[in-house]
Amino acid sequence: MNPAEELGILLRNNGLTIAVAESCTGGLLGSMITDVPGASDYFRGGVIAYQNDVKERLLGVPAHVLATVGAVSEETARAMAHGARTLLASDIGVGVTGIAGPGGGTSDKPVGLVYIGVEGPHGALCRQFRWTGTRVENKHHSAVAALELTLALLSDC
């Protein structure tokens, strides 16, 4: 069973809903969730917030966070997760932000750097990842990691 299927069973069995806010994955996480038949039982929806103004206006990521630590940061991933959860009235919110590559990286924030935040009714998690693949591979790794991190949060509850 893949992580999206496992997550779907867990969400359905516990009567929970999930919403996503994606930047570097560009909708791949939502696609993976909805690849599971019956996902409409628990998937509320998602926001692809590629530009900072969308992160700020739709998801409520504070402007000072974007200005000081940037879009690719733990603070932004956590705020995106909270924003998705709030905006879409969901039990669980997931935020993914990073640099998929091949360009866009810096010495401080290299290509492959990704932050994933998950927020639920009983807590939150955020993790940093550093992928070394192609753009498509980095997006895939990030989406799978978001599913797995969400499973980890739910198993702790």
pLDDT tens string 102-138: 999 999 999 999 999 999 999 999 999 999 999 999 9
The domains of the chain, with CATH numbers, are 3-156 (3.90.950.20)
Confidence of residue 34 (pLDDT cuts 50, 70, 90): very high
* pLDDT at residue 155, as a whole number: 87
User: Tokens in use for 85?
Assistant: 């959860």
Predicted structure pTM score: 0.97
In this structure, are residues 36 and 8 in contact, taking their beta carbons and an 8 Å threshold? yes
Total residues found in the chain within this entry:
157
> Over 90: is that where the pLDDT of 156 sits?
no
92 touches 119 (CB < 8 A): yes
Average pLDDT, the chain: 97
Cα–Cα distance for residue pair 101/85, rounded to 1 Å:
27
Helix (H, G, I), strand (E, B) or coil at 149: helix
Q: What pLDDT sits at residue 43?
A: 98
Q: What is the pLDDT of residue 157?
A: 57
Q: Is 50 exposed, middle or buried (0-12, 13-18, 19+ CB in 10 A)?
A: middle
Categorize the per-residue pLDDT at 151 as very low, low, confident or very high, splitting at 50, 70 and 90. Answer: very high
Kindly tell me the sign of the dihedral angle through the C-alpha atoms of 23, 25, 27, 30.
Answer: negative
**CB atoms near residue 89 (< 10 Å):** 10
Q: pLDDT (tens digit, 9 = 90+) per residue, 116-125? A: 999 999 999 9
All residues at 6 or more sequence positions from 152 whose CB lies less than 8 Å from its CB, including other chains:
125
